[in-house]
């Protein structure tokens, strides 16, 4: 989403595109993985925004549907920009904490069955996976050394 679109989107929701909010959005769109409020705070440069402000702005961005909250079973939630046409899931390594995107969505294939069983119209879903990444799997590390 271009900066102008975001400004329009925010205006429609009667919230101003504050500098901090725009910068948080920009940081999230540039990130390869969902970020914690602390990581976002560390990446905010140039002006003084405290962590509480980061949390407040994340909540505001989430309320208007620009940001998605992701729970990877950590002590905090992570945040990701919602970009049109982009739908991803995440997989996290339980050894090193590395997070990767999973673009293949198995849930979409089950949508009909879920809707049929529940009578709900499925609008959104989330699925987070946990495992051990290739570099943390002992046998694969050995194989790479040869």
- Minimum gap (Å) between residue 97 Cβ and Zn ion: 7
Question: CA-CA distance, 55 to 53, in Å (whole number)?
Answer: 5
Question: CA-CA distance, 52 to 41, in Å (whole number)?
Answer: 10
Name the residue nearer to Zn ion (CB basis): 22 or 93: 93
* Site for Zn ion contains 93 (CB under 5 A): yes
> Are the beta carbons of 38 and 71 closer than 8 angstroms?
no
**Among residues 7, 83, 96, 110, the one that binds Zn ion under rule CB under 5 A:** 96
Question: CA-CA distance, 23 to 101, in Å (whole number)?
Answer: 23
**Among residues 31, 82, 105, 137, the one that binds Zn ion under rule CB under 5 A:** 105
- Minimum gap (Å) between residue 11 Cβ and Zn ion: 30
* Site for Zn ion contains 88 (CB under 5 A): no
* Site for Zn ion contains 82 (CB under 5 A): no
Q: How many residues bind Zn ion (CB under 5 A)?
A: 8
Q: List the interface residues with Zn ion, window 116-135 (CB under 5 A).
A: 133
**124-105-5 Cα angle (round to 5):** 55
Name the residue nearer to Zn ion (CB basis): 12 or 103: 103
Question: CA-CA distance, 25 to 89, in Å (whole number)?
Answer: 19
């Amino acid at each position: 989403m271009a900066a102008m679109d975001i400004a329009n989107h925010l205006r429609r929701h009667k919230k101003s595109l504050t500098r901090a909010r725009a910068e948080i959005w920009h940081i999230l769109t540039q990130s390869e993985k969902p970020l914690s409020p602390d990581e976002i705070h560390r990446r905010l440069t140039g002006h003084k925004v405290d962590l509480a402000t980061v949390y407040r702005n994340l909540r505001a961005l989430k309320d208007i549907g620009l940001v998605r909250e992701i729970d990877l079973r950590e002590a905090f939630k992570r945040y990701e920009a919602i970009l049109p046409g982009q739908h991803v899931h995440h997989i996290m390594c339980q050894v090193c904490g590395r997070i990767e995107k999973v673009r293949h969505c198995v849930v979409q294939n089950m949508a009909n069955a879920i809707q049929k069983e529940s009578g709900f119209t499925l609008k959104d879903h989330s699925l987070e996976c946990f495992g051990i990444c290739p570099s943390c799997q002992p046998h694969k590390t050995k194989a790479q050394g040869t």
